[in-house]
């Protein structure tokens, strides 16, 4: 054995040292992966808070451009968002609770009335005993809710804590967004910092434009639905309109899901002709207007992805983080496309100035390297 080691020129201690170093490295990687797994919930909240902060950053920058300090601009955005949220909840929760409870309790009667008017529906309800099953379900619903009250309270408190955590993180991120951007720029060599600063600006603009535009489109969908249902005299117009506004936030399938719910409730609570047909035609026409008129004007090309790409990205994001992941994935994918497709070419004068100002700010904050000048022009 000693002669074999002498012939190969490898000392036994060297092999043992390398083996121990490799084992220690594997253990460190496993411990790091386990630590990330343990705190995965906190990491998700941090990412969601950062995403919310980036989404609201265009409003903060607009206020700072009007002369407000960034701290005051963040305070104005947060207070305005809280006022709108509280006013929205205060105005819709009582009627939604009342009308939603009435809809659930009257659902078996609506189905029975529809069965008496339609032979096909009557055959289906008689075959599968739908009316009896719905009546039994509605009757047992209060007992089930009372039995799961403790679990409901725990889930509610957990959701409330997570929401407050995301809100606090978003406020901190919005207040320090400029410092975070400069810190990210300083992670790269000085020669690449103007391009990195421009890329960060693209990410912020894409995410902010998409999220604000998506909320605006959802509000328009909810308002238009409420106006249509009120005009046709469909019961429970407010909860149905809120349902459409919320489902419209879901990429690709949300609008269709909200429309299907409204058409189904309209068919159960009113006549097939003309009210249900009118509601169905309204959603068909509105979807075309939203897809080809409202969304292009509101989003203004912030998401330049094909329908298949949007669907796949939303599926991947939804698999990872649920509904929040599906919403977050689309603007991030659009940003990645801009950064990777070569569309992020040399910035124009305005964007170059922003990037250089960010680099200069990073240099003032303590970077020892001088800010880089513009890249030299290529010679043929």
Residue 377, pLDDT score:
42
- Pick the more confident residue, 102 or 148: 102
Residue 213, pLDDT score:
84
> What digits encode the pLDDT tens for the residues 325-336?
887 888 888 777
Confidence band of 39 (pLDDT split at 50, 70, 90): confident
> What digits encode the pLDDT tens for the residues 302-332?
666 777 777 788 888 888 877 778 878 888 8
* Rounded (5°) CA angle 214-60-88: 50
Residue 369 predicted with pLDDT over 50: no
Sorted by sequence, the CB contacts under 8 Å of residue 59 that are 6+ apart come out as 73, 77, 208, 212
41 cis-preceded (ω within 30 degrees of 0): no
Residue 31, pLDDT score:
92
| pTM check: above 0.75 | no
- Pick the more confident residue, 337 or 260: 260
Sorted by sequence, the CB contacts under 8 Å of residue 313 that are 6+ apart come out as 305, 329, 330, 333
Helices (H), the chain: 2-8, 12-38, 40-65, 70-117, 119-128, 130-147, 149-175, 177-186, 193-232, 237-247, 254-269, 277-289, 295-299, 307-340, 349-364
Residue 8, pLDDT score:
54
Residue 362, pLDDT score:
45
Residue 344, pLDDT score:
47
Q: Are 180 and 53 in contact (CB under 8 A)?
A: no
- Pick the more confident residue, 208 or 111: 208
Q: Are 240 and 95 in contact (CB under 8 A)?
A: no
CA distance 332 to 303: 9
pLDDT above 70 covers a percentage of the chain that reads 69
């Amino acid at each position: 054995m000693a002669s074999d080691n002498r012939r190969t020129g490898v000392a036994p201690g060297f092999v043992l040292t390398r083996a121990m170093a490799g084992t220690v490295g594997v253990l460190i990687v496993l411990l790091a992966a386990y630590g990330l797994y343990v705190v995965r919930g906190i990491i998700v909240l941090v990412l969601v808070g950062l995403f919310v902060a980036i989404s609201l950053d265009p409003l903060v920058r607009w206020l700072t451009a009007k002369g407000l300090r960034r701290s005051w601009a963040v305070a104005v955005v947060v207070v305005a968002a809280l006022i709108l949220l509280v006013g929205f909840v205060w105005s819709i929760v009582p009627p939604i609770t009342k009308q939603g409870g009435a809809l659930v309790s009257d659902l078996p009667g609506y189905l029975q009335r529809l069965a008496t008017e339609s032979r096909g529906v009557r055959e289906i309800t008689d075959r599968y005993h739908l009316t009896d099953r719905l009546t039994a379900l509605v009757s047992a619903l209060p007992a089930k809710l009372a039995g799961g009250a403790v679990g409901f309270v725990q889930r509610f408190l957990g959701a409330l804590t997570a929401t407050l955590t995301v809100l606090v993180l978003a406020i901190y991120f919005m207040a320090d967004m400029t410092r975070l951007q400069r810190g990210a720029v300083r992670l790269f060599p000085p020669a690449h910092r103007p391009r990195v600063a421009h890329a960060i600006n693209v990410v912020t603009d894409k995410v902010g434009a998409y999220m604000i535009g998506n909320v605006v489109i959802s509000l328009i969908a909810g308002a238009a639905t409420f106006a249509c249902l009120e005009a046709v005299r469909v019961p429970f117009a407010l909860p149905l309109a809120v349902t459409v506004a919320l489902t419209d936030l879901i990429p690709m399938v949300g609008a269709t899901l909200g429309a299907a719910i409204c058409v189904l409730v309209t068919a159960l609570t009113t006549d097939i002709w003309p009210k249900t047909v009118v509601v169905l035609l309204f959603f068909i026409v509105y979807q075309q207007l939203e897809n080809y008129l409202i969304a292009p004007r509101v989003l203004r090309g912030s998401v330049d992805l094909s329908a298949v790409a949007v669907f796949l990205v939303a599926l991947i994001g939804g698999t990872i983080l649920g509904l929040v992941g599906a919403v977050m994935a689309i603007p991030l994918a659009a940003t990645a496309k801009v950064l990777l497709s070569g569309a992020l070419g040399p910035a124009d004068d305005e964007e170059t100035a922003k990037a250089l100002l960010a680099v200069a700010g990073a240099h003032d904050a303590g970077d020892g390297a001088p800010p880089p000048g513009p890249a030299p022009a290529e010679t043929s």
